[in-house]
Amino acid sequence: MERLKKAIEKAKAEQKTSELEVTPSQNELEVYPEQEVKLSSEKTQPMVSRDTAKVQDSWTYRETRVEPVSQETLRQNRVIAGDKSDARSNPFHMLRTQVLQKMRDNGWRTLAISAPTPKAGKSLVSVNLAISIAMDVNQTVLLVDMDLRRPSIHKYFSISPSEGVQDYVNGKHDLPKMLINPGIDRLVLLPGGNSTLHSAELLSTPQIADLVKELRERYESRIIIFDMPPMLVADDVMVFLPYVDCSLLVVEEGSNTKEEIQKSLFMLENFPLIGTVLNKAEEASQNLVYYQD
Amino acid sequence: MEYEDSNTVSPNYLAMLLRHKWFLVISIPPLIFISSVIVVLLPPVYQSIGVVLVETQQIPQDFVRATINSVVSERIEIIKQRVMTRQRLSAIADKYGLFADKKDSYPVSRIMQEMRDSTVVDLVNTGGNRSLVTIAFKVGFEARNPSVAQAVANDLITLFLSENIRSRTESASETTEFLESEADKLKTQLDATETLIVEFKQGNKDSLPEHLTLYMDILGRSEKQFQDLEREQRSLEEQQELLEVQLASIQDSSLEETPGQKKLSALKEQYASLNLNYQSNYPTLLELERQIEGLEASSASAIVPVSMFEIEVETKLVASRSQLEALLKQKEKSLQKMEDLEAQIIRVPEIERGLLALNRDHENTRTRYESTVSKRMEAEMAESLEQSRKAERFSIIEPPILPDKPIKPKRAQLLMAGLGASIFGPFGLVLLLGMTDQSVRGSKELRAIIGEAPLVMVPYISNSSEDRIQRRIFIYLAVALVLCGLGALAGVHFLYQPLDLLVYRVLGRFEFL
């Protein structure tokens, strides 16, 4: 741990001075040759500092498929958590701090993110939060797309649909082959899958339980975030909740009503809820900084 | 976490308005513009009103009572109904060409209704809380053209006045006629009762109460007469007795039988006794009978000269007898007369009663007749009063003037109203939207619902294409608005009227200048 701390501090210090340095280093850290890096624009910054410390975990993904995505593409997809210059990323960093703290305090490793209704922005929040957590050099993240009716995680990374959770449930148990790294350190994705089978009640199958078990065992050190379906659409989420340690509820301002929120909370009643996130908030747009009481 | 059970999510209206600020900015100015244009373009309506005074009767009511005594306000209302008939109103409309252009499209009833709506009839009252007395009334008309308004108002007032006069005189003459016919009827009745009385009296002329004393007198006299007659009769009878006695004595003294008489009486005796035993055809009897007859005949002729005294007495006796007879007859007559009179007198009370009833009828009828006649005379005076216009009358104290300013529309007010509506309309809409918005907005509301503030608030993350689109929309709208505004101004300036003139005209409509 000592070495790790020193490494982080050094990295931080060097980050400030070498923000423009974009050449990938040639040492152990294998970087991503296909990643686009704009040299001309000052605004462009590397997603991650190349001079990360020589940590034990290798950031080379030997087994995991790598499908890097450019910053511009991410911004177009509204994924901005990795862009420190974008003020809109701040809430996600704050969220990360609180979530990590709570989870570490309780020894929780798995987190389910949901919202009362569709289009509330929970997938976006999941993605941005995952990226934000991945920016913490002490933490690796596995983001699982559990919204099997409408898998969307891969879209945010502009990745074409590939095998995932649905396929696992159908019998293909080759997890490592399904994981994808989107070109961001410490972040790995498990897409929803591209099976065309109707996903009704899929989440209540024993295969799902197996999946969660395998994920937990295999990727012990990682924080696993599950992007759930909307809570009030079906009762999938309730069935799934016993498999995770805690949950997060995303609420859409201007759309979710009191009844919807209360119903969702009621469904989450017996499970640890870290808190709620108010998405598409006007106050946030007005640059109000929110402090928890 | 605790759940708070608040009733509803209380809307934050200010945030609502701010959220929809662009909608407000875009919608309010055009609305203001449109409402202003409408207000400016509204055609003016002119009103011309005349005032008619209700003058009370000059001649005191105690002297002559007019026939019409209803409340003025009621009468004015009735006259109004009579004046505002279809016929008259459409005559006026045709005369001045009102609704000329709309004759085909509007039904007649609608034209009538509009005429009625354009007419003004107001009462001018005075007096306290209880009794409101109408002392005058106003009649007026509204039209687009001031001189038309005045002309129509004039016509209406004239109609009111003439209708008033007509109805008053008609009413008065009706009254007189009615009373006259009533008087005639009563006169006939009166004559009938008189006839009855006459006939009754005629039928009972013997027992008329007015003759009662007369009858009583006559009766008295008759009784006296009767008594006189009785006395006379008694005296006559006495006299007669005396005479008879006298005569008897005379006769007695000369009543020695002559031989002839003696023989006669002896024969008679014989005859009588024979008659007892024998039949009448017994020859002796027959012989006797012959002898008796012969003797009687000769004795008749062989009358002994009676003394003059006897003759005198006999004459007197005969006279007395005939006198008595006459007297008795007279007495009978007198008695009859008395009886008749008594019968008559007894009937008098009954007749009296009958006459009383008839007279009473007659009196009643006469009273009624007389009172009717006097009423008729009053009515004739009232009629004359109306005809010389000395009763209550309408007189124009202010003829309708030519209006120089329109009474409608009140442009300043309407402009304010339009302004208000243009602003509060969209505002209201937004607020309404807000009230019905049940969604949660803001961290405070969320906190109220779930008992805890959210961990973070994430803004709406837009991507560059959205930004671009928004910007583009904004630019387009702004340019469009400006172009429209300029275009409108240019259009007005070149096609309709130069702008400076227009400004003056508009201000003129608001009576600022």
- Euclidean distance between CA atoms A288 and A269, whole angstroms: 30
Contacts of B462 in chain A (CB under 8 A): 78
Residue B260 pLDDT grade (very low, low, confident, very high; cuts 50, 70, 90): low
Instruction: Give the number of other CB atoms < 10 A from CB of residue B119.
Output: 19
- Euclidean distance between CA atoms B507 and B504, whole angstroms: 5
Give the residue on A whose Cα is nearest the Cα of B3: A262
Helix, strand or coil for residue A166? Answer: helix
Reply yes or no on whether the pLDDT at B198 is more than 90: yes
B268: which 2 tokens?
Answer: 């008679």
Reply yes or no on whether the pLDDT at A61 is more than 70: no
Contacts of B443 in chain A (CB under 8 A): 278, 281, 283, 290
Residue B143: strand pairing partners: B46
B149: which 2 tokens?
Answer: 């308004």
Residue B34 pLDDT grade (very low, low, confident, very high; cuts 50, 70, 90): confident
B144: which 2 tokens?
Answer: 């687009």
Cβ separation B458–A278 shorter than 8 A: yes
Give the mean model confidence (pLDDT) for residues A88-115. Answer: 91
- Cα of A183 vs its chain's centroid, Å: 13
Cβ separation B458–A255 shorter than 8 A: no
Contacts of A276 in chain B (CB under 8 A): 446, 450, 452, 454-455
B508: which 2 tokens?
Answer: 């003129």
Cβ separation B454–A251 shorter than 8 A: yes
**N- to C-terminal Cα distance for chain B?**
70
Instruction: Give the number of other CB atoms < 10 A from CB of residue B431.
Output: 16
Helix, strand or coil for residue B153? Answer: helix
Reply yes or no on whether the pLDDT at B261 is more than 50: yes
Mutate to test the interface with A, among B3, B436, B458, B463 (most CBs of A within 10 A): B458
* Of A77, A252, A265, Cβ closest to residue B1: A265
* Of B439, B456, B462, Cβ closest to residue A256: B439
Cβ separation B456–A255 shorter than 8 A: no
CA–CA min distance B1, chain A (Å): 9
Residue A252: strand pairing partners: A279
Helix, strand or coil for residue B508? Answer: helix
Instruction: Give the number of other CB atoms < 10 A from CB of residue B120.
Output: 15
* Of B8, B19, B446, Cβ closest to residue A282: B19
Contacts of A288 in chain B (CB under 8 A): 457
CA–CA min distance B420, chain A (Å): 29
Residue type, B188: T
Cβ separation A290–B443 shorter than 8 A: yes
Give the mean model confidence (pLDDT) for residues B73-98. Answer: 88
Q: Which of B464, B459, B463, B425 is nearest to B443 (CA)?
A: B459
Instruction: Give the number of other CB atoms < 10 A from CB of residue B101.
Output: 9
Question: Which helix (H) or strand (E) covers residue B46, if one does?
Answer: strand B46-55
Residue B483 sits at φ, ψ, to 5 deg, of -60, -45
Query: Are B149 and B46 contacting, i.e. CB atoms less than 8 angstroms apart?
Result: yes
- Euclidean distance between CA atoms B272 and B288, whole angstroms: 10
- Euclidean distance between CA atoms A181 and A176, whole angstroms: 11
Q: Given the structure tokens 């934000």, which residue do they identify?
A: A132
pLDDT for the residue A22 = 38
Residue A73 sits at φ, ψ, to 5 deg, of -60, -45
DSSP code of A164? -
pLDDT for the residue A112 = 93
Q: Which of B445, B248, B215 is nearest to B339 (CA)?
A: B215
- Euclidean distance between CA atoms B13 and B313, whole angstroms: 164
How large is the greatest C-alpha to C-alpha distance in chain A, in angstroms? 56
Least confident piece of the model among A18-32, A84-98, A131-145: A18-32
pLDDT for the residue B194 = 92
Among residues of chain B, what percentage have pLDDT more than 70? 92
State how far the alpha carbon of B416 is from the alpha carbons of B27, B30, B46, B151, B421, in Å.
Answer: 17, 15, 22, 34, 8
CA–CA min distance B477, chain A (Å): 24
pLDDT for the residue A15 = 56
Those residues whose C-beta lies under 8 Å from the C-beta of residue B3, and which sit 6 or more positions away, are: A262, A265, B449, B450, B451
Those residues whose C-beta lies under 8 Å from the C-beta of residue B96, and which sit 6 or more positions away, are: B148, B151, B152
Give the residue on A whose Cα is nearest the Cα of B12: A254
Give the mean model confidence (pLDDT) for residues B102-109. Answer: 76
How large is the greatest C-alpha to C-alpha distance in chain B, in angstroms? 208
State how far the alpha carbon of B277 is from the alpha carbons of A111, B270, B285, B291, B430, in Å.
Answer: 196, 11, 10, 19, 173
Helix, strand or coil for residue A239? Answer: helix
pLDDT per position as a tens digit, A2-37:
666 666 666 666 655 444 333 333 333 334 433 333
Reply yes or no on whether the pLDDT at B141 is more than 80: yes
The model's pTM is: 0.52
State how far the alpha carbon of B71 is from the alpha carbons of B56, B132, B133, B394, in Å.
Answer: 12, 10, 8, 14
B123: which 2 tokens?
Answer: 């009462």
Give the mean model confidence (pLDDT) for residues A170-175. Answer: 79
Query: Are A197 and A151 contacting, i.e. CB atoms less than 8 angstroms apart?
Result: no
Those residues whose C-beta lies under 8 Å from the C-beta of residue B470, and which sit 6 or more positions away, are: B462
pLDDT for the residue A69 = 85
Give the residue on A whose Cα is nearest the Cα of B4: A262
Mutate to test the interface with B, among A259, A274, A282 (most CBs of B within 10 A): A282
A140-171 burial, b if ≥16 CB within 10 A, otherwise e? Answer: bbbbbbbbbeebbbbbbbebeebbbbbbbbee
A201: region left, alpha or beta (phi > 0 left; psi from -120 to 50 alpha)? left
Residue B241 pLDDT grade (very low, low, confident, very high; cuts 50, 70, 90): confident
Helix, strand or coil for residue A51? Answer: coil
Cβ separation A91–B463 shorter than 8 A: no
Helix, strand or coil for residue B237? Answer: helix
The ipTM is 0.71
pLDDT for the residue B157 = 93
Mutate to test the interface with B, among A258, A285, A287, A289 (most CBs of B within 10 A): A258
Which chain B residues have any C-beta within 8 angstroms of a chain A C-beta? Answer: 1, 3, 8-9, 15, 19, 437-443, 446, 449-450, 452-465
* Of B438, B455, B459, Cβ closest to residue A284: B459
Contacts of A75 in chain B (CB under 8 A): 463-464
Among residues of chain A, what percentage have pLDDT more than 70? 73
pLDDT per position as a tens digit, B473-506:
888 888 888 887 787 777 777 766 777 877 777 7
- Euclidean distance between CA atoms B193 and B359, whole angstroms: 8
Helix, strand or coil for residue A25? Answer: coil
